[in-house]
C-alpha cells in the first residue's frame, strides 16, 4: 500500500519519525523505496546531479521528466515533487497549472513549494481547494539564494517569530506537511509542537517529525555538501576506483 498524507499525519500523532530522501531517476528511487524510505522527494536539489550551481535553472519540464522516472521506481513511499523556481510564483493560475501538470503527468501525490509570505499562503489555499496536496517549505528557501544566501535562517527573535507564523499560516491554508530547512533546533521544535501536520527537517535539529537529506549528499556523490548533511558512504571514491580498475584491465587486455 502506498503511503498517504493521512498516514504521514498519523505518524506524527504516534511519534513515529518519518524518513525522507530525494531522488532524481528510476534506479535511485527504486533502491530508496525498497530500503523502506517513507517519503521520496523529487527535489529541485537535483540541480546538483545535473551540474548546476543553484536550483534556479531547473524547469517544470525537466522536473516532470525526472518525476516520471522516479515514479516508475516507487511503490510504497509517498511521492512528493518540488515546483521549480518561477513555475508558481507568478500567479495562482500559474501555480495551479504547474502543480496540476505535475500530478497529472507524473503520478506524484503532492507538490512542495517555497515560502510562507501572504501571497504564497493564498496560493497554497487555492491549490488545496483544487485538490492538490501541498507541503510548505520555510526557513532557508534555496530558490531565494540571491537574497538569502545559504545561511541559517531564523536566528533573531523577529525572524524566528516570522517563520513560526508563516508555518502556522501555511497549515491553516491546508498544507499537509511542513519542510523546515536550516533553522535553529529550538525554533523547529516550537513549530513542530505548534503544528498538527508533520514537520520534516533538514538542518533543523532532532525535534522534527521526520528528517530529509539530499541523497547525493548521504551517498558522497556530491562534490560538496552543506554542513548539516551526514555523508554515510563515499560513492565518488567507490565509482572512481571501479572505473579506474576497468580502464586498467581494458588497457592491459585483461578484460574481457
Please identify every residue annotated as catalytic: 181
Q: Please calculate the CA angle 64-153-98 and round it to the nearest 5 degrees.
A: 20
22: contact with ligand KIV by CB under 6 A: yes
114 annotated ligand binder: yes
Taking the complex as a whole, the smallest distance from the CB of residue 112 to ligand KIV amounts, in Å, to 6
Compute the distance between CA of residue 92 and CA of residue 63 in angstroms, rounded to an integer.
19
160: contact with ligand KIV by CB under 6 A: no
Compute the distance between CA of residue 116 and CA of residue 165 in angstroms, rounded to an integer.
8
Nearer to ligand KIV, 31 or 253 (CB): 31
111: contact with ligand KIV by CB under 6 A: no
Which helix (H) or strand (E) is 28 found in, with range?
A: helix 26-34
Nearer to ligand KIV, 149 or 255 (CB): 149
Note whether 160 and 187 are within 8 A (CB). yes
Partner whose binding site includes residue 212, from Na ion, ligand KIV, none (CB under 5 to 8 Å by kind): ligand KIV
Partner whose binding site includes residue 33, from ligand KIV, Na ion, none (CB under 5 to 8 Å by kind): none
44: contact with Na ion by CB under 5 A: yes
Taking the complex as a whole, the smallest distance from the CB of residue 254 to ligand KIV amounts, in Å, to 41
Q: What Cα–Cα distance (Å) separates residue 54 from each residue in 50, 51, 123, 234?
A: 10, 9, 24, 23
Compute the distance between CA of residue 252 and CA of residue 248 in angstroms, rounded to an integer.
6
- Positions touching ligand KIV (CB under 6 A) are 22, 41, 43-45, 82, 179, 181, 202, 212, 214
Amino acid at each position: 500500500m502506498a503511503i498517504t498524507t493521512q498516514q504521514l499525519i498519523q505518524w506524527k500523532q504516534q511519534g513515529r519519525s518519518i524518513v525522507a530522501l530525494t531522488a532524481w531517476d528510476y534506479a535511485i528511487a527504486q533502491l530508496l523505496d525498497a530500503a523502506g524510505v517513507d517519503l521520496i522527494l523529487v527535489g529541485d536539489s537535483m540541480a546538483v546531479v545535473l551540474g548546476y550551481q543553484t536550483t534556479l535553472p531547473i524547469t517544470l519540464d525537466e522536473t516532470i521528466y525526472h518525476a516520471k522516472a522516479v515514479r516508475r521506481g516507487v511503490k510504497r513511499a509517498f511521492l512528493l515533487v518540488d515546483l521549480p523556481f518561477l513555475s508558481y510564483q507568478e500567479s495562482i493560475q500559474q501555480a495551479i497549472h504547474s502543480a496540476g501538470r505535475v500530478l497529472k503527468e507524473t503520478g506524484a501525490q503532492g507538490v512542495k513549494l517555497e515560502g510562507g509570505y501572504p501571497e504564497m499562503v493564498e496560493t497554497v489555499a487555492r491549490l488545496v481547494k483544487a485538490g492538490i496536496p501541498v507541503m510548505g517549505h520555510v526557513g532557508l528557501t534555496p530558490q531565494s539564494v540571491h537574497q538569502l544566501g545559504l545561511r541559517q535562517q531564523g536566528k533573531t527573535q523577529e525572524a524566528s517569530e516570522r517563520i513560526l507564523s508563516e508555518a502556522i499560516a501555511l497549515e491553516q491554508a491546508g498544507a499537509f506537511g511542513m519542510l523546515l530547512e536550516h533553522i535553529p533546533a529550538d525554533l523547529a521544535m516550537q513549530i513542530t509542537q505548534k503544528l498538527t501536520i508533520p514537520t520534516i527537517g533538514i538542518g533543523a535539529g532532532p525535534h522534527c517529525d521526520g528528517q530529509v537529506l539530499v541523497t547525493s549528499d548521504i551517498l558522497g556523490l556530491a562534490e560538496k555538501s552543506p554542513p548539516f548533511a551526514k555523508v554515510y558512504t563515499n560513492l565518488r571514491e567507490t565509482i572512481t576506483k571501479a572505473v579506474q580498475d576497468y580502464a586498467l584491465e581494458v588497457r592491459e587486455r585483461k578484460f574481457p
